[in-house]
Structure formats: C-alpha cells, structure tokens
Structure 1
Amino acid sequence: MLPGPSAFPSHLFPKGFYILRWQEPGRAEADFGRLDVKTVIRNIYILFSRSELPVAGDDQEIMDLVDQSIPLPPWFSEEDLAAYASLYEKSGFRFALQVPYRSMGREYAIADPKVTAPALLIMGEKDYVLKFPGMEDYIRTGQVKHFVPNLDITFMPEGSHFVHEQLPEQVNALVVNFLNKQNI
C-alpha cells in the first residue's frame, strides 16, 4: 500500500470492516475496554487466523464477532496468550491501533515510493488480506513489483495472517535462504 490518501480504498469495504472501525479514534478503545486484555488478544488471534474478512454488523463491534467457544488456533498456546497479554497490559493497544490503522492515508512526501533493496514477502494462502479488493491479483500477478522490483514472494498453503507464528520453522528457513542468496 502506498502512502497517502489513496492508500486504503475505504469505499471498497463494508462499513463494518474492522480497519474502518479501528480508524475511528476511541471506537476500538471502547470495544476493547469492555473485555480484559487476555480476551482481546485471544479474540484477535481467533479472528485474524481465519480466511474471512472481519466485518461487524450495525449493532456489533469487532470483538463481538468472536464466539467464545471457539478454541485458540492450535499453534497459539495458552502460554503464548498469557505472555502477549502481559505485554499489552503494560503497553496498551495505542501503538497497535496507530500503526497501521490510524496512520493509513497520511501523506509522507515520498517522491518515489519504491523499495529497491531485495525484499521477501511470505504470505499464507489463507490470509484474509488476500480478500481485500484487488489485493490477491496485485500480488500474484507481480504488479507489486512495480514498487518493490526485487521482491521474492512465497505463499505458504496452510498459512494464515500469522504465518510467521503458525509455521516458524518454515518461515525461518525461507528467511535464511533469502538472506543467503543476498550474501548477507
């Protein structure tokens, strides 16, 4: 996504889409504030491990989309959840909401928004982000390489949005192989 007002085409998403909701100052804070931190983290991991776009109805907030009887993804343990929750209890969610949700659309005066350094994109085939309007085509056809010409793209068939946590050994191997090819 390029910086600037057209970075996120909000008109292409339903009004209950999580990004649109979380861009509103105070809305996510109120939604999250109804729950303890551990439940918020749990809900985020359940929601964003799915292939569907998180969209709330008119009478819902994003945290309402999670059925509490759904278990954590098998690769995310109760110990992981406790560790993450303890960190967010200290820091809160302010920065996590600011970047990227509330910084989308800001102008950064970047004349030529190209990344010319070698780059690696590892993406799960089941990542809901691929359902953003035009996103899958943009990545799979290589249009993204207009802005990142030295981009290697690897799709992991079983990967979700959290592919790096879900399949850490495979992701680490891909990163190490990529770095070795770069002589880094």
Structure 2
Amino acid sequence: MVGSAMRQTAYTMLASPIGPLLLGGTDDGLACIGFPSGKGAVTPGADWHRNDAAFAEARAQLTAYFDGRLTRFDLALAPRGTPFQLTVWQALTEIPPGETISYGELARRIGRPSASRAVGAANGANPLPIVVPCHRVIGASGALTGFTGGVETKRFLLALEGGPAGPAPAQLGLL
C-alpha cells in the first residue's frame, strides 16, 4: 500500500471489461473485490475512504490480467474468513490459469473429500474473486455453476484464461 497507514478500509474503483470493480482493503492488503451488481456487489461502507493510490499495484495487475498479459497475481491479500474458508481460498490460488476443477476435487485437495458442499459455500464466500480464482471451480458435470459475479462473468473469465468456457474473449469481440 502507498501512503500513510490505513486504519480504516480504503477503496478504489477499476473499470474492467466485466464492469466497474470495487477494490477495498487496509494496510494489511487487498481485502475485497466487488462486482458491479448481483450477489457479489460490494459498496463502500460509511467509514470507508477513497484512496486510489493505495491500490495502484492491484489496479495495474488486474488491468494486465484483463489485457491478457498476466496470469498470476502477486499482491498482499487480507481476506477475512474462518480457518476452513482461508484453507479453501488458499487452495483456489493453486489452480493453474485455464484449468478448472470440481468442488469435489477441491475438497479432496484440502484433505476433506466429503466436504464438497462446505467447499462450495466457502468458494461462494470468497471476498477476492478473480485474484483468488474461485471462477475456476465448476460442477462435477462440467457445468458453470453459480458465481458471485454471475455465470456470464465466470464464462468470460474462463474464456479470458483460455479455459473450457468457449472461445477467447478476443474471438468474441469482447476485448
């Protein structure tokens, strides 16, 4: 983070191909990414303050991701969650770009093979979508199941990464 210590949550906005994203966090790191609408919509809290400089690196990396120049993020992250959620979110970061796995496979990877429903709930509660790539988890049948940014956004992100969601965004005229 740039500037003086952030005791309160700071935020900025980032224009993206999927709509404006809200980035929020503190000195500890980026704590949330909010989509413009739907289940993943995040609005600044009353005690949040806008600080674009604090998120210069996050903005740069997300812009590079959307431009197809970055596949892995290197940012200080500060998600808040239960120990189980944090374990699931860490495992999400280990799914390579362009690949997808099922909720059951993710449960197996964290050593909890019977916890696919709990893994699904933790995946849905991920406060840092895109950077912590919950969009890479799909249904056992291969279906693009729910996503906080909407299934179309999930499809877009997977296509951007060259995954199984269909043609790349450039081929669709999206970039």
TM over 0.5: no
**Greater percentage in helix:** 1
The structure richer in strand per residue is 2
Ranked by relative contact order (alpha carbons within 8 Å, sequence separation 6 or more), the top structure is: 1
**Alignment TM class, shorter chain as reference:** under 0.3
TM-score, normalised with respect to structure 2: 0.26
TM normalised by structure 1 equals 0.25
